Structure formats: structure tokens, C-alpha cells
Amino acid sequence: MPLGGTATFVASLNGIATYADTALGLKGGGTLNIDFASGGLTGNGDFSTYGTDGGKVDTSNWYASARIASGSNAFSGSFTIGAPSNPAGSFDGRFYGPNHEELGAAWSWNTPTGGRAYLGTLLGRDLATLPANGGLDALRVNEAFETTGMQAQYILTSPTNSYMQRITSLTTPPVTMRYSEDSDSLVVNQFAVVSDVALTDAIRDAAASNASFDVYRTTKTETFGGVASEYPIEIRVLKPGAGNPTIALTYTSFATWSVGPVPSLYQSDVNETVLAYGRKTPDGAMPRSGSASYAAIIQGITTVPVSASATQRPYVITGDASLSYDFAAARMSGVMRPVATDRDSGQRYELGAQNFAGSSIVGSSSFSGQFEKEMTIRGIGTTNGSINGQFTGPQAQEFFARWNYGMIDPVNGGTLNMGGVMVGKQTQ
């Protein structure tokens, strides 16, 4: 076993999920990141369960963390399903092959309430020994990406064309983005919102797509009170690669999607999500000296504006940002310049420069911080907001971040929760 360096393994997951007298098949995939110097192993991905008829039952996320035993090819640690904060199950395995190019592990996990038990195997192979993925515009083999995002959930009442917030603030959704060899496309999954939507040419809207974004349209069926309704889904993906005139990124991108509404229903839910995704910089590959500047763009959403008529939809947030990072001190600072757009009138409102700062641990590829100005935000309270970022690329050439803050409504007054993502690349 090596004493230094890092490796990324592509993983496949197989197993069963049992509850009461029912057993479901389980299949999924993901990525494992190994730091041989520290002996650390972390991974994540997603999976789906299937009934005896082969039909998909549900989809969830998995997370693994382990330590390689000193002087051994074995590792052990924890395995969690649903959310990283859930109680941990077991995860035990070892490396195989003359050059530790493969690994196998057994895992198990029970729901916190004991209602369902999961167990299975995980097999992985060093990505360096497989046909390689290039940038996000040159994907060839299965790969699960690091993700983060924000979502808004609200309700349309069709007879009055009025909107109300379902949840008082924006939330962080359980969402994954991966590349699938089976469909030769990106596949997006958000629990209970969009389930394994393959972004193929079959659902691509060529007329709405352009040099900056690909647009995809599909539907999903929801049944309430015995009545089935088709909810429209629109997904926009920032194109990676040098040819994008908005921002040319290699290891990072973002997507937005909306589910609903259904105007024929008296009331229908609307879910709008903004997701950033990319290829995480391994902690062992992070620079430990010097500094870098990054130029970025932002994309976001707000809660529903409060007005007498309640007919205004949430604002769309766009704009640009810049970030400076001191790798030796693991400190960052930056500024974002958001613009709120009224989707009904098309009016744009510049919200002014908003400074932020934060820190991390030297050698870590993630960082967090908050905004300089404290705000009292409707539905949240007094806060400095938050920003949580992840460097991407082999050596932190790019980054993405989730941000959550507030704004003064330029039309109706008062404050709104706004949040979203930013994606950027080094400028020096």
C-alpha cells in the first residue's frame, strides 16, 4: 500500500432493503476519495430500490467514511443513508490487485426508527485505471459529483393567480447529479421532486437552448384525491467548456429546475431548485501556500414577495462575484453583486455589493463564511447569512458555493430570504 498520494475510485453499490415482510433490490453508484497519506477514505453517491416486478420504488443518497488500518490493505468505518447526520451503520473492506487498483466492501445500515434495514456490497476501481473522464464536457464513465444547492417551495392558487410560501424560508435540498454511461448523460435526482431524470437529447428543448445553457423539459405524475395531474418540469444546465460565452468552466457547473405549477388545479405546488455541482479537489491536492483570485457568477431565487395582491412570483437572482483565497492561512474574502429580476415585468433591480468572508482548515478543499452586514429577514430572523464552498479541479482551479442571505424587496418593501449558488474559476 502506498504511503502518500490520493486516488478517486468509481464505485458500484448492490444490496437489499428489507422491512416487515418485504425485500427490495438495491442498485446504485458513486465515488470514493482516498488519501493514502492520512489513511482517510470518504465517499458518496445514490441508489434506487426495486420491487419484485422490477419497478423503481424510491431513491436515496449514501455516504461512507473509513480509515485504512496502519500497515494493512483493510479499512473500516461508517456507512449512512439519507443524510450525513443520520446514525451510522458499518462499512468494512479492503483493497485488491497488485497495485491496489480495486476495492470491495460490505456495508449495512438501519433507519433510526428501525423500520427498514439495508445491507449490501460496494465494489470500486481506481479511476486512473479506467477510461478517463475529461472535463465536464468530456464525460465517458460513471461519475457522481459533489453538489450543493437551495430550493424554494410555494403554492399557486390558480383562480386568483396568487402565490404563498409553503415553507417560510429557502431550504437546502437532498439532491444529486451524476453522469451515467447507460444514458450517456447527466442524471439529476432530488428526493420527492425529480427522480433520476436523464438529461438526454430526447427531452432537450433545442429551440430554448443556446451557447450558454441546455434546456430540458419533461413531466411527472402526481395523484391527489384519486386524480392524477401532470406536473411540468423544466431543467436548465450551464454548459461546461471553453465555448460558453457566459463563463467557461471545466470542472464545475450549475443547473436550475422548476416543477409545477399545474394551472388546471385549484392549488398546486411549485418547487424551484438551484444546484451547483463539480469534481471535488482532493484535500491532499490542495495548495498549502500562496493565494488565488476567482471570478464567478451567481444564480439564485427568493421567497415569495409579500404584496396586497400576492400575484408576484419569487424574484430570480443573477449577478457576478469575486473571491480571494489565502491557501497558507485558509482564509477567504469576497463580494457578490446580485441583481433581482421580476419575472412578470422583466424589471431588473441591482441590490448592491455584498461582502463576505470566511475560513477553513489548511489543506481542506471546503470553506465556509458569512456576509459582512447583519440583516433581519422575514421568516428567519437576524442573521449574517452563510456561504459554504467547495474547490473543484485537480488543484483548486475552480469552485462552487451555496449562499443564503436576505434582500430588501425593491417593489413591496420589507425583506425576503434569497439564496442560491455561485460558480467560478481562477483569474491568476
User: What number does CATH give the domain 143-426?
Assistant: 2.40.160.90
Cell numbers standing for residue 332: 477567504
- The residues of the chain that CATH labels 2.40.160.90 are 6-129, 143-426
- Predicted TM-score of the model (pTM): 0.74
- Nearest Cα residue to 34 out of 91, 115, 103, 116: 103
Tell me the torsion sign for CA atoms 34, 38, 39, 40.
Answer: negative
258 backbone dihedrals φ, ψ, rounded to 5°? -130, 140
Cα–Cα distance, 418 to 415 (Å, whole number) = 9
Cα–Cα distance, 255 to 194 (Å, whole number) = 13
394 alpha carbon, distance to own chain's centre: 19
Residue keyed to cell 423503481: 56
190 backbone dihedrals φ, ψ, rounded to 5°? -135, 115
Question: Which helix (H) or strand (E) segment is 190 a member of?
Answer: strand 185-190
Q: One digit per residue, pLDDT tens: the chain, 428 residues?
A: 888 889 999 999 999 999 878 899 999 999 999 999 999 999 999 898 888 766 778 889 999 999 999 889 999 999 999 888 898 999 999 999 999 999 999 999 998 877 889 999 999 999 888 888 899 999 988 898 999 999 999 999 988 888 888 888 999 888 889 999 999 999 998 866 777 899 999 999 999 999 999 999 999 887 766 778 889 999 999 999 999 999 999 999 999 999 988 888 888 889 999 999 999 998 889 999 999 999 999 999 999 988 767 788 899 999 999 999 999 999 999 999 999 999 988 999 999 999 999 999 998 999 999 999 999 998 889 999 999 999 999 999 999 999 999 999 998 888 999 999 999 999 96
Grouping H, G, I as helix, E, B as strand and the rest as coil, residue 203 is: helix
291 backbone dihedrals φ, ψ, rounded to 5°? -150, 170
CATH class of 6-129: mainly beta
Does residue 46 contact residue 177 with C-beta atoms inside 8 Å? no
Q: In the 8-state DSSP scheme, what is residue 145?
A: P
The one-letter amino acid at 250: T
The one-letter amino acid at 353: A
Does residue 294 contact residue 323 with C-beta atoms inside 8 Å? yes
Cα–Cα distance, 278 to 234 (Å, whole number) = 21
